[in-house]
Amino acid sequence: MLINRIGLTKDETQNDQVFLLSVPAGEDSLAHRRHVCSRVIPQSQFSLTNWLDPEKVFGRKAPLHVDLGCGDGSFLCALAQRLPDKNFLGIERLLSRIRSSARKAASLDNVRILQMESFYAVRYLLPAESVETFYLLFPDPWPKRRHHRRRIVTPDFLKSVHVALEYNGVIYIATDHLDYFRKIRKIAASTPGFAIDDVDLDLPQSRFWLIFEQKSATIYWLALRKVSDSEAYTKIAKFFEQLRE
Strand 64-68's sheet: what is its strand order? 111-115, 87-92, 64-68, 131-137, 165-175, 220-226, 194-197
Residue placing its CB nearer to ligand SAM in the complex, 6 or 37? 37
Q: Are 88 and 112 in contact (CB under 8 A)?
A: yes
Cα–Cα distance, 37 to 43 (Å, whole number): 13
| Beta carbon nearer to ligand SAM, 97 or 226 | 97
Give the list of residues 6+ apart from residue 48 with CB closer than 8 angstroms, or none: 124, 125
We find the least distance from the C-beta atom of residue 92 to ligand SAM, in angstroms, to be 5
SS3 214: helix
Q: Is 200 a catalytic residue?
A: no
3-state secondary structure of 145: helix
Work out how close the CB of 141 gets to ligand SAM at its nearest, in angstroms, rounded to a whole number. 8
Choose, from 53, 109, 140, 197, the residue flagged as catalytic.
140
> In the complex, what is the shortest distance from the CB of residue 11 to ligand SAM, in angstroms, rounded to a whole number?
27
Binding site for ligand SAM (CB under 6 A): 69-71, 75, 91-94, 97, 117-119, 137-138, 140, 152, 206-209
Q: Between residues 88 and 208, which has the closer beta carbon with respect to ligand SAM?
A: 208
> Between 189 and 210, whose beta carbon lies closer to ligand SAM?
210
87-92/111-115 β-pairing: parallel
- Shortest Cβ distance from residue 208 to ligand SAM (Å)? 4
Active centre residues (catalytic): 140
